[in-house]
Amino acid sequence: MHNNQIDPYLYPDVPVLINKLGIKDDELLAKAEVDITCKAIYEIAAFPVEGSYDFNHFCEFHKLIFDEVYEWAGVPRTVPIEKHEAALGYMSIEYAQPDNIKRDAGTILNKMTSVEKWKTLDTEDLAAAVSCYMAELWRIHPFRDGNTRTTITFICQYFESIGILMDRELFEQNAGYMRTALVAASALYSDVDLRKSDYLVRIVKDSLESGLAMHKARHNTVSYPQRAIKQKVSGEKPSVLEAIRRDKEQRKHTSQPAKPLESRKSKSRGDDGR
């Protein structure tokens, strides 16, 4: 939010996002939000959200992830926002104006889904291209909060739908690094271009290489979404997180996924802490 405007998304008496849980403490809200949204993201990984990967589909992802927390889940923001980023000397990214969100996001997603030669790119070029679209979509910041998690989840599912697997858990384990990398890759201003995409490309490349190892391993084992579905059909309660961990243990005996950078530090919340 711009400093001279009243933010209708906040409680009148405290600077905390109005939420369905009735929590007015930012730290408590953060913890509750992480618990709820992590569960939703794991469910999406196990049971993909069908759609055409357009802006409405993107909004559906946000709604599924945040519906238990916010009334406005899945609804584009109606106010301009600013977020002072330490990585940019406390400048804010120039996020899209509310009236331009649907148009700008739709344009980016249409370009991304129109590419026909994704699988012909080598890992270096693929990582650069995926990073570019990820940063451009994130820079729009369609929602008042939750843009990082929604963008990453959506991008991962799209590329998995066309046969390019990404290691989602790598992004989760390095959430703080990931958000800072998105900030650095999105620092495009009307009068100057300060973008640095190297950090984002690096972790996306690691994710793609790890995803390739996962893909090879799946020829010899059942993937975690398939196991979760089988558990559900058989009447057992599926535990996606447990299935993911089992999958990782099995992959250790078949291939070694790319390691995260030593400089990355895990952070529980990815979009301004959320």
CA distance 99 to 182: 23
At a CB cut-off of 8 Å and minimum separation 6, what does 255 contact?
213, 216, 217
CATH at 84: 1.10.3290.10
Which phi and psi (to 5°) does residue 10 adopt?
-105, 155
**SS3 readout for the chain:** CCCCCCCCCECCCCCCECCCCCCCCHHHHHHHHHHHHHHHHHHHHHCCCCCCCCHHHHHHHHHHHHCCCCCCCCCCCCCCCCCEEHHHCCEECCCCCHHHHHHHHHHHHHHHHHCCCHHHCCHHHHHHHHHHHHHHHHHHCCCCCCHHHHHHHHHHHHHHHCCCCCCHHHHHHCHHHHHHHHHHHCCECCCCECCCCHHHHHHHHHHHHHHHHHHHHCCCCCCHHHHHHHHHHCCCCCCHHHHHHHHHHHHHCCCCCCCCCCCCCCCCCCCCCC
pLDDT, tens digit, 9 for 90 and up, residues 140-149: 999 999 999 9
**At residue 3, what is the residue type?**
N
Q: Which two tokens stand for residue 58?
A: 């993107």
Distances in Å between the alpha carbon of 58 and those of 90, 108, 155? 29, 12, 9
Nearest to 274 by CA among 203, 175, 187, 136: 175
Please give the pLDDT value at position 260: 38
For residue 216, the model assigns a pLDDT of: 81
Q: What's the confidence (pLDDT) of residue 6?
A: 86
Burial of 114 (0-12, 13-18, 19+ CB in 10 A): exposed
User: Letter for the amino acid at 123?
Assistant: T
Looking at the domain assignment, is residue 105 inside a domain?
yes
pLDDT at residue 247, as a whole number: 52
Does 263 reside within a domain? no
Q: pLDDT tens per residue, the chain (274 residues)?
A: 554 468 999 999 999 999 999 999 999 999 999 999 999 999 999 999 999 999 999 999 999 999 999 999 999 999 999 999 999 999 999 999 999 999 999 999 999 999 999 999 999 999 999 999 999 999 999 999 999 999 999 999 999 999 999 999 999 999 999 999 999 999 999 999 999 999 999 999 999 999 999 878 776 655 444 444 444 433 444 444 444 445 545 555 544 444 434 344 433 344 554 5
The count of domains in the chain is 1
Sign of CA dihedral 28, 31, 32, 37: positive
Answer yes or no: is 232 within a domain. yes
């405007």: which residue's tokens? Answer: 5
Q: Supply the pLDDT for residue 152.
A: 98
The 10 Å Cβ neighbour count of residue 211 is 21
Give the domain extent around 196. Answer: 77-252
* 46 located within any domain: no
- State residue 181's pLDDT score: 97
Query: Is residue 257 domain-resident?
Result: no
Task: Supply the pLDDT for residue 219.
Answer: 65
Instruction: Specify if 209 maps to a domain.
Output: yes
CA-based end-to-end distance of the chain:
16
